[in-house]
Structure 1
Amino acid sequence: MQWLLPARSGGGGPCKRSTRKRVRKAWWRGRVRAPLLTFKRARALRRKMTLPEAILWRRIRRGQLAGLQFRRQHPIGPYILDFFCAASRVALEIDGAAHDSEVQFEHDQRRDAWLASEGIQVLRVAAAEILRDESLDHVLSHIAQVAAPSTAFGGPPPPQAGEEP
């Protein structure tokens, strides 16, 4: 353990590692990687949620929606998802007035295509829908329906030819 040895100057204290600023060689992380800057931006966004995000988060956090666990402001690649369910690979995006412009629409299209290539389904919800109490329950039921695990086939697959059941 090199850092426990006395300093070369004879000061008797622990040897300090290099004082040079370390450069991160691996700035991509995880299975679907994200740059360190994206992680920092996501952390800042978690502290400053919009009103529709706060309302939706209050209703879906801690598995309240069909037992699904969502993360908020989750970084994936160069993007930050408003909400993400890792188990079902579903992202929820809250679209406010800023998403009405043509430039933002094209950016959202590229982003959705990239996320689809990573196997992530994106559900876009208008912020106005979340702010209306009567439509929020409908939005939540739609999210639960899309994000819930599929039980269409139910049970194990049939045995192969020559196998016993």
Structure 2
Amino acid sequence: MVEINIPGRGKSFIENLLLDYNGTIACDGEVIASIKEKIGEVKKKGISVHVVTADTHGTVRKQCADLPADIRIFDHSNAAENKREIAEELGAEHCVCIGNGWNDGLMFEACSISIIVIGDEGCSAQSLLKADIVCKDIHDAFDLILKPNRLIATLRG
């Protein structure tokens, strides 16, 4: 668990990181190679990592087999609600989430801190308005978690 005290927002105790798969940590169904190391660094901080996806390309199990992460695959028809439910099940007030798509919006609203990445696939304009922070790519989003003073500087009141 990581404790972050954000002036104007108070303390957050981060226990879980929820990651969207396609467009966030993967492009065209393949995990971005450098992300494996970042996930390992987050785990070393005591944060559990969960990949939440409808698995559009059907590759998440194979691509994430060696990642220290819990993989949650759900039906395509209700992805937004499924992601929100997973956040709530894990204790959304102790979750940071990262995504890029329209179906990440409810998860963004539920989690303590939400980060949207633009990346190669772009991002949903609707979810952009629900995110706490916007990053140009997934590497910058991970660095916010690995270097909490960046979060504090961005979110302070």
Q: TM-score under structure 1 normalisation?
A: 0.32
Higher strand share: 2
| RCO comparison, higher one (Cα < 8 Å, 6+) | 2
Q: TM-score under structure 2 normalisation?
A: 0.33
